[in-house]
Amino acid sequence: MKLTKKITGGIEVYFENGIEKYEHCKDSDGFEWWKEYDNKGNNIHYKTSSGYEMWKKYDSKGNNIYSKDSNGYEWWSEYDNKGNVIYSKDSDGEEWRKIYNPEEEVDIEPFIFKKD
């Protein structure tokens, strides 16, 4: 495994065998963030020096299908074969269904369902 580092605009970018795997940045106030990527370039983990974190999972097409943050908030999404979000739900009980007009390829207003 070959690990290389490149600094661009104050962001340290780390590569494993030529594939971007990590980013790190620290600003002048001392705030830091880190990002981790999978082999397909998807951001799978984000962390800040203030303690916030987010984790993400993707399907085989690179669509973000699941996310969870360090506050316990979670959300899930489903996609059509063109990569459009067609359904989402979150850990607060809200659900969204989005309908697309395939002839014009434009959004039709989303339906929002809220758990009572």
- Mark whether 2 and 48 lie in a shared domain: yes
pLDDT category at 92 given cuts 50, 70, 90 is very high
Structural domain of 94: 73-116
What does pTM read for this prediction? 0.80
Q: What percent of the chain has pLDDT over 90?
A: 65
- Mark whether 82 and 28 lie in a shared domain: no
- Mark whether 8 and 54 lie in a shared domain: yes
DSSP 56-101: EEE-TTS-EEEEEETTS-EEEEEE-TTS-EEEEEETTSEEEEEEEE
- Mark whether 10 and 48 lie in a shared domain: yes
- Mark whether 77 and 52 lie in a shared domain: no
- What number is the average pLDDT over the span 57-80? 97
- Mark whether 55 and 91 lie in a shared domain: no
